[in-house]
Every structure is written in structure tokens, then in C-alpha cells.
Structure 1
């Protein structure tokens, strides 16, 4: 009789221990999932846009441009008219302002729409400037001012030329898509990431 009681007590103790282990395991799983949810922010358009905005201007293409311009000023030959041809080298930096990006999130997809490619900076290499066919004026030759005017003219020339270059825009777009995809691929979880440019 006592043996049966001891056996049943042992069984009851085993069941209680098993229940405690199951409850503890359940609590651990629940807490782990809760902490993971707290650590992983919900994927929303605002969340993605804030990540992109923090990145700011994304330079996705650089180009070296060699130019030639003709500079002239004044109207009276030899007295006020001055002129020269100038060759120069410039670096053009183009990309996308990510603060202007727009993100839409659905159950299965995250769509990031990027703004048009912009020219962020045109830098003239002063050491590359060379002058040819200089025609000096007796009354209005100011070398420093003329050089500054020539550099300003060179920047205008580069701006005009780059507007007509489809290759620079295409390269900047492709690189921007690649970089944004790399930046956000882990953030979107199991959703499909689509990166496109506004039409």
C-alpha cells in the first residue's frame, strides 16, 4: 500500500515538474518574442523615409569633364575689349536628395520613389586652367577678376553640358537604385523592395 502511494506521489511530482518546465519555457518564448518585437520597429513609410532622410544627399555618380570656353568682355578693340580661350577640367558630382524620397508600404511590398537626379557640385580644377589667344585691353584688364569670371563661365558651361548628358543621369539612377537596395534590403524583412524614380 505504501509503495503504491510513493509511486503515485512520484508520478504527481514528475507531472508538476513537467508543467513547471513547460510554463517556464512558454514564458521564455513569450518574453523573447516580445523583446524582439520591441527591438524591430514596425515597417512603415515614415520609418523608411526617416532612414533615407538621415542619409541626406546621396552622390551616386561622378564625372570628369574637360571643357573649352571663349571669354570676352568690353566692346572697343584694344581699349576695353579683352578676350581669351580657356581650357579646364571639372569634376561633376550628381545624385539624389534622399530627403525628397517617398515610401509606400503594403502587406507584401515596400516601394521607394526617388526624386530626379540633381547636380550637387561642380568643382573646377584651378591647376588645370590654361589660357590661349589672350587679347588684353589697355583700360580694363583685371587679371584676378577676369579669372573669377572665367571660372564662373566654366561652371555655367559644365551645367549646360551635363543637362544634355543622358549617360550621367542614367549612371546616377542605376547606382542610386543599387545603393538604396543595399541600404534597405534587411530593413524591409520579407517584403519585396521596389526602388524607382518619379516620372
Structure 2
């Protein structure tokens, strides 16, 4: 009888040991799985956005006819016979977007909130190959220089910026930015189907 009790005790201890081992095994395995799962943080979200920064920008193409005119002056009086001018056509493209480094990103258990800085002009480039000169002066007293073309380009870019405001392109760029970021994160590994995305602009 004593041997039987000892045998039963042995079996019980063995079974308990096996159960403990099983729990420990699956506990460690589950912990390792969780550890191996990608962790979503502010940094990973920002990296996702940076990797697709071209998709977040809004492009605005324009074609213009511009005229530049200038005369030599003395005390704000134009000197006769020194007028110079040129008329040309050109095309350009504006890229509007946001400075992602200024974005505030918050990641909670099931939500990613992004507050963006205002939309700004990232680039405004005139395509040099598109430039065609239709008329220009040949004044020996005041010849056209490369600086005149540079000044003309600066003036025209300012006019384009005013056009962006008048046509509410900045508002269009805001909507495009929100939609692009939301769709981008909704298909990103480790984020899709796990987080709600909320994108806004700072006041």
C-alpha cells in the first residue's frame, strides 16, 4: 500500500511538473511572439511618411506669358532711350506639402493621431526648356542681362503664389495631404486593420 501511495505521489508530481512545463513553454513562446511583432511608435510612423513623401505632395502646373521692363534711372527719373524689355512664355510646377519634422504624432493602443503644420510651397520651379522669347529690346545703352531674367523669375513666382491663394490651392493641398497620409498608413504593415488614423492641421 505504501508503495502504491508513493507511486501515485510520483505520478502526481510528474503530471504537475509537465503542466508547469507546458505553461512555461507556451508562456515563453507567446512572449517571444509578442516581442517579435513590430512595435508602432512615433518614429516608425514618421519613417513611413518620409518614405512616401512624394505621394503626400500636391503638384500645381502653370503656363504663363510674362513681360519684363526696366529703364536706367537717376533720382527715380527714367533716363530717355534706356528702356529695355522682353516678353516670353514659360511653364513651371509648384510642389505643395508639409514639413514632416514639425508634425506631432501620438500613438495609443488603437489610434494614431497626427497634427500637421500648415501647407507650404516646397518648390516652385520654372522649366528652362519651356521658355520661349517672343520679343526683346536691343538697347545698346541698357542691355538685357542674366540678372534681369533672374529678377523676372522672382517676380513671376510671387505672382504664382498669389494665384495659389486666389484659386484656394492651399486648401486643396490640405485635403490631399490628409487623404494621402490616411490611405498610406491604412495599408502599412503593422498599422493596417489595427489602428484608427486621425490627421488634422495645427491651428
Which TM-score band (shorter chain)? 0.7 to 0.9
Please tell me whether residue 197 in structure 1 is matched to residue 191 in structure 2.
no
3-state SS of 2:197 partner: strand
Aligned pair in 2 of structure 1 residues 25, 170: CA closer, same or farther (>3 Å)? farther
Give 4+ residue runs of structure 1 displaced > 6 Å after superposition: none
Measured in 2, the distance between the counterparts of 1:69 and 1:57 equals: 35
Report the counterpart of residue 52 of structure 1 in structure 2: 46
Measured in 2, the distance between the counterparts of 1:118 and 1:103 equals: 19
- Asked whether the equivalents of residues 117 and 173 of structure 1 are also in contact (C-alpha less than 8 Å), the reply is yes
Q: 1:26 aligns with which of 18, 23, 47?
A: 23
3-state SS of 1:139 partner: coil
Q: By how many angstroms is 1:105 displaced?
A: 4.9
Q: By how many angstroms is 1:170 displaced?
A: 3.6
Instruction: List per-residue Cα deviations over 1:57-95 (Å, max 9, x = no partner).
Output: 934211211112221111335x32111222110011111
Measured in 1, the distance between the counterparts of 2:173 and 2:42 equals: 21
Q: By how many angstroms is 1:142 displaced?
A: 3.3
3-state SS of 1:23 partner: helix
Report the counterpart of residue 72 of structure 1 in structure 2: 69
Report the counterpart of residue 179 of structure 1 in structure 2: 180
Q: By how many angstroms is 1:48 displaced?
A: 1.7
3-state SS of 2:98 partner: strand
Using the size of structure 1 for normalisation, the TM-score is 0.74
Q: Which moved more, 1:87-96 or 1:55-64?
A: 55-64
Q: How many residues are matched?
A: 191
- Asked whether the equivalents of residues 91 and 124 of structure 1 are also in contact (C-alpha less than 8 Å), the reply is yes
3-state SS of 2:162 partner: helix
3-state SS of 1:177 partner: helix
- Asked whether the equivalents of residues 68 and 85 of structure 1 are also in contact (C-alpha less than 8 Å), the reply is yes
RMSD: 3.5
Aligned pair in 2 of structure 1 residues 12, 182: CA closer, same or farther (>3 Å)? farther
Residue ranges of structure 1 left out of the alignment (5+ in a row): none
Measured in 2, the distance between the counterparts of 1:181 and 1:34 equals: 31
Q: Which moved more, 1:187-196 or 1:91-100?
A: 187-196
Aligned pair in 2 of structure 1 residues 63, 109: CA closer, same or farther (>3 Å)? same
Measured in 2, the distance between the counterparts of 1:149 and 1:184 equals: 42
Q: By how many angstroms is 1:16 displaced?
A: 4.6
Instruction: List per-residue Cα deviations over 1:137-185 (Å, max 9, x = no partner).
Output: 221213433333322333222222223231x324422332233224444
- Asked whether the equivalents of residues 66 and 87 of structure 2 are also in contact (C-alpha less than 8 Å), the reply is yes
